[in-house]
Amino acid sequence: MAFSAITLGTTLADLDAWGSVTDLGSELLEGDVKAYGKMTFGGPTDAVSAGCFGATQGKFRMIYPFNEQATVLSGEVILTDESSGESRHYRAGDSWFVTKGTAVLWEVVSDSFVKHYFAVV
């Protein structure tokens, strides 16, 4: 059995640079949002995967390509479900679940943000 520590306080410095959020299929709305990450299980194209994802400050839109449970490890983000208009402000320790196909507006309000996620396609 292998363990991967999922630690509150994880920062972008702990992750690998992945380029712009547009390289991951997101639409950039404000700022020059850079993406960072590190897989803890599987890979980005696997049916089931887990890992850390981080981003720099700014706004972007993403249509979720998978179902995801996530927990904020550092920073703050406001997520808005564009179909309902519902917004929630998340901080370290907060979690959410979002279903595949949901259009979400991301606003990273702190200098950076990191979450750990578990995704199922």
pLDDT score at 60: 97
* Distance between CA atoms of residues 120 and 112, nearest Å: 25
Query: Rounded to 5 degrees, what angle do the CA atoms 96, 17, 43 make?
Result: 60
Alpha-helical runs (H) found in 28-67? none
Class of domain 14-120: mainly beta
pLDDT digits (tens, 9 = 90+) for 60-102: 999 999 999 999 999 999 999 999 999 999 999 999 999 999 9
Helix (H, G, I), strand (E, B) or coil at 66: coil
pLDDT digits (tens, 9 = 90+) for 32-68: 999 999 999 998 788 999 999 999 999 999 999 999 9
pLDDT score at 4: 84
Show the tokens assigned to 2.
């292998």
pLDDT score at 32: 95
Where do the structural domains in the chain lie, given as residue ranges?
14-120
